Structure 1
């Protein structure tokens, strides 16, 4: 049996960053365990890029995490000597009275976050790649940008291993057994004994911690890439990451998001048909886009960015855990406070992953963290209606 001060179960988005933060404390024995390969291509973080935003439409509870994450991303870049965050800006586009746009504007103005407000005319002049509606506005988060998630996760793994933290991949945890001394972590490759456990397994949380299954569910997330006719207009130097909400005359809302080219020939456009919000099992492979759905995506993205060829060049489907109020859950199990967990990330975790990892590390070592908010508690969440 291997002994550790802290065992982190799950080494993806949040777990990798938690391991990195914990490993920097030389007096701790830290172990990481993950059921999948080091780079899990079906994970919540996979897919080449993620949006980084500091003008967070989900509300001010995330402001501290936005500020902390910028510095932490730069620290990880320095530790790995790899580019991870390109601060090309993050642009929100939509009608000024649309809820997400109102909230974003309220947050940037109330907290004096670096930003620009653009009219539809100014938006088109600055970014002629877009085709805004006449009443649209743009809110440019000048500190936002694009993240490279696979690079970031593996960089955090390497940083943790360099500090002496062993990581066990392709190792599935089957049981957590409380003892007087701590928690026994039973895996298909042996048993570990830990004083504390941090569970960061995303979509699989309800399987290992069934007491949380009424609070989170798994939903698919689709990603597509489209090819511009002029790729030079979609380089990070001239094209930001973006989110757009469009309201049709009949009231139908279309939401999509995107990132500049990182592969040199295409840009990411994330949008997917409504039926895909249906819950699923994390062990099931999400269904791929059908030809009809890809045709629908092509029509939508061409409306958003006219220079795009209206036929996606590639696509992938992932999944994540969703809670009741779009706020993630970071808490301890009521039955045993030696078990911390993170879940309910809503496909929005990656931008703040290093800050979330720092928060969990502080909670494990110090018992609390200045980054934690009551909104993250399980008590602040309702059970999901099924």
Structure 2
């Protein structure tokens, strides 16, 4: 049997791509080394931030705005709550460029935001202790997504539409000849006219020249109370400190406040090196300094999880073709901020599978930028 497209890696982007391609009547095979949603990638940990004012650059705004539409559609189709509009408060020192960049992005793309001084932040959220030499911006329509639920719904919808799914089955090799791709797995060989590789941190095993660095990251849950809950309108948040370190967190649920550090982490050579939370000495304490200064009153670290980011050299997405005939596509290097764009990336992948032109939309993310850097 020859599939129209095989998708290697069925996490957030791969699950979306498989769902959209199947809905568009393609004969699709989705493959994953585990059974998504799982805890061997970067999308787990229950929740992920969704922001619309974006300092990472204008290239992301069309993806974010299209994703917003697709998230809403997925929520309605699945009859499942996937998004909480808590607002996202971003704070940074007055002398840092982050807040001006967010405000400029919001103005250009008509995003609803509110600029706030440190005093205004403290007045609105008494539990947020922000120094006078900081300021912030509230992204009003932003919030957080239930990431694993979303992947689960894409997987389910794709299956119901007739998508073939081969899970708990690693891919060991990919070959391209006679205008077909042959994918070798522990279960046998499969053939397709097109292939999409969305294998996260381990895509480099299949595309050796891919310039990504897998990095182990952790997130931790701290004992909290109702003052930090979404019921009291406490926002999701990001924070850049004086030393440039970056943190993010979510309103407390079940008296547990989830906080993580975005930068840093431990480079990985293999999945086996992505040790469970607690096996690296700094796991439970890397957020302590931030919590002590900005959110005092949080107590012990209750538990945590480890995941992996597929970091590109410049921190921006990699989306490019695998061959001159444009029958293979790789989406990687999402660098820890890919999930919020996952629906749009999955849709782009499905357009590729359908033979539609995607050169314009992927142009800012192609590999040629590293050759000319």
Aligned pairs for 1:69-218 (under 5 A) are 69-212=67-210, 215-218=211-214
Residue 341 of structure 1 is matched in structure 2 by: 330
- Structure 1, 114-123 or 100-109: larger mean CA deviation: 100-109
Q: 2:223–2:301: 8 Å Cα contact kept in structure 1?
A: yes
Q: 2:3–2:29: 8 Å Cα contact kept in structure 1?
A: yes
TM-score (normalised: structure 2): 0.94
Deviation of residue 337 (structure 1)?
2.6
Residue 223 of structure 1 is matched in structure 2 by: 219
What is the aligned counterpart of 2:245 among 229, 247, 254? 254
Deviation of residue 352 (structure 1)?
1.1
When the two chains are superposed, the root-mean-square deviation of aligned CA atoms in Å is 2.1
Unaligned stretches of 5+ residues in structure 2? none
Deviation of residue 273 (structure 1)?
8.5
Deviation of residue 99 (structure 1)?
2.9
TM-score (normalised: structure 1): 0.91
Residue 8 of structure 2 is matched in structure 1 by: 9
Q: 1:64–1:371: 8 Å Cα contact kept in structure 2?
A: no
Q: 2:229–2:255: 8 Å Cα contact kept in structure 1?
A: no
Deviations 1:252-300 (A, max 9, x none): 33321101124x12011102784x3434423433363445552453343
The structure-2 alpha-carbon separation of the partners of 1:188 and 1:267, relative to structure 1 and needing over 3 Å to count, comes to same
Deviations 1:317-376 (A, max 9, x none): 111211111111111014563111101010111111111101111122133238724211
Deviation of residue 181 (structure 1)?
4.0
Residue 297 of structure 1 is matched in structure 2 by: 287
Q: 1:297–1:312: 8 Å Cα contact kept in structure 2?
A: no
Unaligned stretches of 5+ residues in structure 1? none
Q: 2:118–2:135: 8 Å Cα contact kept in structure 1?
A: yes
The structure-2 alpha-carbon separation of the partners of 1:222 and 1:296, relative to structure 1 and needing over 3 Å to count, comes to closer
Provide the aligned length of Structure 1 versus Structure 2: 372
Deviations 1:205-240 (A, max 9, x none): 11011122xx11111111011122x32432255011
The structure-2 alpha-carbon separation of the partners of 1:382 and 1:148, relative to structure 1 and needing over 3 Å to count, comes to farther
Residue 326 of structure 1 is matched in structure 2 by: 315
| Over 6 Å off, 4+ runs | none
The structure-2 alpha-carbon separation of the partners of 1:211 and 1:235, relative to structure 1 and needing over 3 Å to count, comes to same
Residue 233 of structure 1 is matched in structure 2 by: 228
